[in-house]
Amino acid sequence: MSGNREGRGRMSRSDTMETVRKGLRSRYAAERRFIWYGRGAIAVALGFLVLLVGSILIKGASVVTQTHIRLTVELPLETFSKNGVVTAESIGAANYVGLVKSSLRDLFPDVSGRRDKRALDSLISSGAPYELRDHVLANPELVGQSIDIWLSASDDIDMLDKGYIDRDIDSTGRRVTDKQIGWYDKLIADGRLERQFNTTFFTSGDSREPEQAGIWGAALGSFYTLMVTLLLAFPLGVTTAVYLEEFAPKNKWTDLIEVNINNLAAVPSIIFGLLGLAVFLNIIGLPRSAPLAGGVVLALMTLPTIIIAGRAALKAVPPSIREAALGVGASRLQTVTHHVLPLAMPGMLTGSIIGMAQALGETAPLLMIGMVAFIVDLPGGPLDPATVLPVQVYIWADSPERAFVERTSAGIIVLLLFLVVMNLSAVMLRKRFERRW
Amino acid sequence: MTDTLPQDEDLRTAIVADGVNVYYGEKQALFDVDLDIKQNQVTALIGPSGCGKSTFLRCINRMNDVIDGCRVEGRIALDGDDIYDRSVDVVQLRARIGMVFQKPNPFPKSIFDNVSYGPRIHGIAERKADLEEIVHDSLVRAGLWNEVADRLNEPGTGLSGGQQQRLCIARAIAVRPDVILMDEPCSALDPIATARIEELIDDLRENYTIVIVTHSMQQAARVSQRTAFFHLGNLVEFGPTDQIFTSPRDKRTESYITGRIG
Ligand SMILES: Nc1ncnc2c1ncn2[C@@H]1O[C@H](COP(=O)(O)OP(=O)(O)OP(=O)(O)O)[C@@H](O)[C@H]1O
Ligand SMILES: [Mg+2]
């Protein structure tokens, strides 16, 4: 330990090493602490995610099945024919409500009185007559026979069967009466009540009756809307980004444009809805409630995101690639399309998918153009009235029936699945573009 | 400053720079540079860092055009025609004047695509067989053929640094330019790879006019016939390489060569 005399602050080599060694402990400790903070944060985030998705799954998973009741229905020839001839028209005109009611009452012959009869009728879904009609229309040879058919039970019976209605509490506190529970038990005992795959939910549009309401209409609406958004926003966004980054001179005009694009990304989404209403519906005259109008509005909202991400991706392409291409005599456009864009594509896709995911979850801008609406029919294309998944979830969440709670959660699951599919396809596309070397 | 030297008189002048001034925005990077480059010779540009060698080189194939705020004044003529004339198409010009950069920059594509890219976009060769011939010839001339013959479809970026640089040279000569500009082509390479490229430059001289920027005095002495010394944006001295290195006329040249500035 010599050499400390060489002026203040200077240490000998061994002193230096000693100081470094002492400091090391706290430096490593800090690093370890940081790592644990990080892990803790991830654990908390994951915990909330599991809680959220788990509770939604638990509430929503039961929508996969729907309670059905097996009725024995007589299809007398005279009901289904006109002047002795059975036609599609005469089949369609039959009184299916009556048929369903009488078949159900046949199972419980001792029920009498208007109130009891009505209570009995309400075991079966009000959509059941339509199910019966569709079945007979599809199989006209059944006319004249007596058939066994599974028809949807009402939402209350469905909830009772799935255990969401507590039969042990006082009957005034629940939506099914003691009598109805008795009939329900008898149906089970006779093997006439069963839960079957819920085709309705996955193939229909919305309905006031929970057991008749499906998510498919909204899913189609979301699909058409996002298609319009993608087809508009992606090419426009990429072209804008390429122009601004690769071709535009850097001057105060382009600076101004850049600032405005960045600001646009922060504009509340409902403003875009107002714009859509004022311009696309009132001036241009796009159809109200249609995915076309919704898609255009969402495209406007998504554009800044795509442009900003696109420019960042273009900036990340090394300038040496551009020089190489220009150096062998490629034009500027060739340089961009042959070399720069393929390298920037993964980044652009990531930006676009973030924008599209935002668009998928938007309801506010669609409010203004009439896509927040009760729409029963499945949209056949981007010009038909439609609603979208988050709006559907919102509408169901706002409905009082217990069965809509289940459907709300199920709607959220479908929305999340939609998102996952979108993200996966983006990842796959990105993999294809990512340079393999 | 020197003018045409006796032994050069039989060589044609390929490029003439006349009073070239270059500005990056307000800042002037080159001051009144006059320089003539002979055909089928290697001309070396030397000088301390930041003196404007790259700037001058990039003027010759108008790569400065893409730099915002860069302004070139004066006249640079290739075979007698002003390359900054309105009638000149830069794409065509760059097909005639190839460039090899300081850092090897192969495209992230296969070796074959790297070399065939130029001929393809210029429409020099459309048929696969023609392209293959060009790729073969260029790689042979760049001295890379033997090393990559059996892996033309592998990525060009997977080669070693020296191989990548030779690939870039092959890419440049595949377009059949008249002039090749090289900006410190060996700065990232080891002595063996450097030696190979120097050999290559010497071979290429037969068919091409070459302008090379280098920081290595030895390299300039080994490969070039004429040397230009730049300092702070001025062309200080220009003449036959032996003369510049053995009996420089300017004090600054002498101090740079002997290692006192730069
Ligand atoms: N794109 C640019 N924008 C602004 N100034 C630049 C730009 N490129 C070069 N310069 C300036 O011009 C001058 C000459 O630069 P140049 O690149 O030609 O030097 P050089 O001789 O090639 O140096 P080196 O040997 O380090 O490569 C330098 O002062 C540099 O700062
Ligand atoms: Mg340089």
Note the pLDDT tens digit of each residue in A363-406.
889 988 888 888 888 898 888 999 999 999 999 999 888 889 89
| Whole-number average pLDDT of chain B | 89
CB contact under 8 A, B68 and A338: no
Asked if residue B118 has pLDDT above 90, the reply is: yes
* Atom of ligand 1 minimally distant from the CA of B22: 12
Ligand 1 atom nearest residue B233's Cα: 14
CB–CB contact B68 A250 (8 Å): yes
The pLDDT of residue A437 is above 50? no
User: What pLDDT score was predicted for residue B47?
Assistant: 92
Domain assignment present for A18: no
CA distances (Å), A436 to each of A269, A343, B153, B157, in order? 38, 11, 13, 10
Label residue B123 by pLDDT band (50, 70, 90).
confident
* pLDDT per position as a tens digit, B201-225: 998 898 899 999 999 888 999 999 9
Question: Could you tell me which chain A residue has the CA closest to the CA of B155?
Answer: A437
d(CA B161, ligand 1 centre) in Å: 24
Average per-residue pLDDT for chain A? 89
SS (H, E, C) A144-164: CCEEEEEEEECHHHHHHHCCC
Contact A437 B171 (CB under 8 A): no
Give the other-Cβ count within 10 Å of B247's Cβ: 10
Beta bridge partners of B13: B38
Residue B52 Cβ contacting ligand 1 at under 6 Å: yes
Number of domains in chain A: 2
B24 touching A (Cβ < 8 Å):
no
pLDDT recorded at residue A4? 47
Please tell me the residue having the least CA distance from ligand 1 atom 30.
B50
Q: Is there a contact between B28 and B22 (Cβ–Cβ < 8 Å)?
A: yes
Q: Please compute, for residue A317, the number of CA atoms within 13 A of its CA located in the half-sphere on the CB side.
A: 31
Q: Give, for B44, the enclosing helix (H) or strand (E).
A: strand B42-46
Chain A residues whose beta carbon lies within 8 Å of the beta carbon of residue B68: 249-250
Q: Which residue of B has its CA nearest to A434?
A: B108
Tell me whether residue B54 is in a domain: yes
| Over residues B117-131, mean pLDDT | 88
Indicate which atom in ligand 1 lies nearest the CA of residue B230: 21
Distance between CA atoms of A368 and A363, rounded to whole angstroms?
9
- Let me know if residue A297 belongs to a domain: yes
Chain A interface residues facing chain B, Cβ-Cβ under 8 Å? 249-250, 318, 320-332, 334, 338-339, 343, 435-437
Sheet holding A65-74, edge to edge: A146-152, A65-74, A193-197
> In the structure encoding, which two tokens stand for residue A209, read together?
């009756």
CATH number of the domain residue A374 falls in = 1.10.3720.10
Measured distance CA(A153)–CA(A160) in Å, rounded: 11
| Residue A211 belongs to a domain | no
B106: left (phi over 0), alpha (psi -120 to 50) or beta: beta
Neighbours of A366 (CB within 10 A): 29
Judge whether residue B174 has pLDDT over 50: yes
**CA distances in angstroms from A126 to A29, A148, A188, listed in the order given:** 68, 18, 20
Average pLDDT over residues B44-72: 91
What would the pLDDT profile of A180-219 be if each residue is shown by its tens digit?
Answer: 999 999 999 999 999 999 988 999 899 888 888 999 999 9
At residue B29, the pLDDT reads 94
Are the C-beta atoms of A133 and A218 separated by less than 8 Å? no
Identify any residues that bridge with B239 across adjacent strands, giving them in sequence order.
Answer: B227
Of B63, B106, B158, the CB nearest to A326: B63
Inside any domain, residue B196? yes
Among A249, A329, A338, the residue with its CB nearest the CB of B91 is: A329
| Cα-to-chain-centroid distance, residue A13 | 66
With a CB cutoff of 8 Å and minimum separation 6, the contacts of B217 are B46, B245, B257
β-bridge pairing B97-100 and B179-183: parallel
Q: What angle do CA A377, A404, A184 make, to 5 degrees?
A: 105
Cα–Cα distance, B141 to A229 (Å, whole number): 52
The answer to whether residue A162 is domain-embedded is yes
CA dist list (Å): A145 to A80, A89, A216, B132, B201: 11, 19, 34, 78, 97
Domain that holds residue A367: 216-433
Cα A329–chain centre separation: 49
One domain for residues A161 and A268: no
- B258 pLDDT band (50/70/90 cuts)? confident
Q: Is residue B210 part of a domain?
A: yes
A186 and A241 part of one domain: no
**Whether A328 and B155 lie within 8 Å, measured CB to CB:** no
Taking the Cβ of residue B106 and every Cβ of chain A, the question of whether any pair is shorter than 8 Å is answered with yes
Q: Which residue has the higher pLDDT, B106 or A78?
A: B106
A404-422 average pLDDT score: 92
Which of A162, A196, A230 is the last residue before a domain boundary? A196
Q: Which pLDDT value is given to residue B261?
A: 59
Q: Do A325 and B68 touch (CB under 8 A)?
A: no
Give the closest residue to A352 by CA, choosing from A236, A247, A245, A433. A236
Do residues A171 and A314 both lie within one domain?
no
Per the listing, tokens 């090393």 go with B147
Task: Answer yes or no: are the C-beta atoms of A340 and A314 closer than 8 Å.
Answer: yes
In a domain, residue B192? The reply is yes
Q: In degrees to the nearest 10, what's the CA dihedral of A9, A15, A17, A18? A: -110
Give, in degrees to the nearest 5, the angle at Cα A74 between A72 and A80: 140
Q: What is the pLDDT of residue B5?
A: 47
> Does B175 contact A at CB distance below 8 Å?
yes
C-alpha closest to that of A327 among B199, B83, B169, B140: B169
Mean pLDDT, residues B37-63? 93
Are A293 and A405 members of one domain?
A: yes
DSSP B49-90: TTSSHHHHHHHHTTGGGGSTTEEEEEEEEETTEETTSTT--H
CA closest to A335 among chain B residues: B121
Check CB contact of B172 with chain A, cutoff 8 Å: yes
Residue B222 lies in a domain: yes
Measure the CA–CA gap between A160 and A128, rounded to whole angstroms: 18
**Residue A138: partners with Cβ closer than 8 Å, 6 or more residues away:** none
- Distance from the alpha carbon of residue B29 to the mean position of ligand 1, in angstroms: 7
Question: Contacts of residue B63 in chain A, CB cutoff 8 Å?
Answer: 323, 326-327
Determine the pLDDT at residue A3. 45
Q: Is the CB of B50 under 6 A from ligand 1?
A: yes
φ/ψ region of A154 (left if φ > 0, alpha if ψ in -120 to 50, else beta) reads beta
- Contact with chain A for residue B38, Cβ under 8 A: no
Whether residue A225 has pLDDT greater than 90 = yes
C-alpha B29 to ligand 2 mean position (Å): 12
| End-to-end CA separation in angstroms for chain A | 55
Q: What is the pLDDT of residues A106-163, one digit of tens each?
A: 899 888 888 888 889 989 998 899 999 999 999 888 888 889 999 999 998 999 998 8
Coil, strand, or helix at residue B14?
strand
Question: What's residue A413's pLDDT?
Answer: 93
Rg (CA), chain A: 32
In a domain, residue A232? The reply is yes
Share of chain A above pLDDT 90, in %: 48
| Count of Cβ atoms closer than 10 Å to residue A34 Cβ | 10
Answer whether residue B252 is part of any domain. yes
Compare A88 and A260 and report the one with higher pLDDT: A260
Q: Between A323, A334, A437, which is nearest B121 by CB?
A: A334
B64 lines ligand 1 (CB under 6 A): no
Confidence of residue A334 (pLDDT cuts 50, 70, 90): very high
- Whether B65 shows a pLDDT value over 90: the answer reads no
Ligand 1 proximity of B71 Cβ (cutoff 6 Å): no
Asked whether residue A113 is domain-assigned, the answer is yes
Residue B116 is assigned to a structural domain of this protein: no
Model confidence pLDDT, tens digit, residues A239-259? 999 999 999 888 899 899 999
Question: How many structural domains compose chain B?
Answer: 1
Containing domain of residue B193, as a range? Answer: 8-100+179-257
CB contact under 8 A, A327 and B106: no
* Domain-embedded: residue A143: yes
Q: Tell me what the mean pLDDT of segment A164-190 comes to.
A: 87
Residue B122 and residue A329: Cβ atoms within 8 Å? yes
* pLDDT, position B4: 43
Residue A268 and residue A348 in one domain: yes
Of A328, A331, A338, the CB nearest to B172: A328
Q: Please check the confidence at residue B135 and state whether its pLDDT lies above 70.
A: yes
Query: Are residues A225 and A192 part of one domain?
Result: no
Q: Let me know if residue B187 belongs to a domain.
A: yes
CATH of the domain at B197: 3.40.50.300
Q: Is A436 left (phi over 0), alpha (psi -120 to 50) or beta?
A: alpha
Is there a single domain that holds both residue A243 and residue A176?
A: no
* Domain match, A158 and A306 both: no
The C-alpha of A233 sits at a distance from chain B's nearest C-alpha, in angstroms, of 28
Question: What is the spatial distance between Cα A161 and Cα A182, in angstroms, rounded to a whole number?
Answer: 13
For the stretch A302-316, pLDDT in tens is: 999 999 999 999 999
Tokens 């973030």 sit on residue: A354
Residue B153: closest CA among chain A residues belongs to which residue?
A: A437
Residue with the larger pLDDT of the pair B260 and B2: B260
Residues contacting residue A81 through CB under 8 Å, at least 6 positions apart:
A87, A90, A143
Beta-carbon separation of B101 and A250 below 8 A:
no
What 3-state class would DSSP assign to A174? Answer: coil
A263 shares its domain with A133: no
For the ranges A48-62, A64-78, B4-18, B26-40, the lowest mean pLDDT is seen at B4-18
Name residue B29's amino acid: A
Distance between CA atoms of residues B81 and B217, nearest Å = 32
DSSP state of A109: T
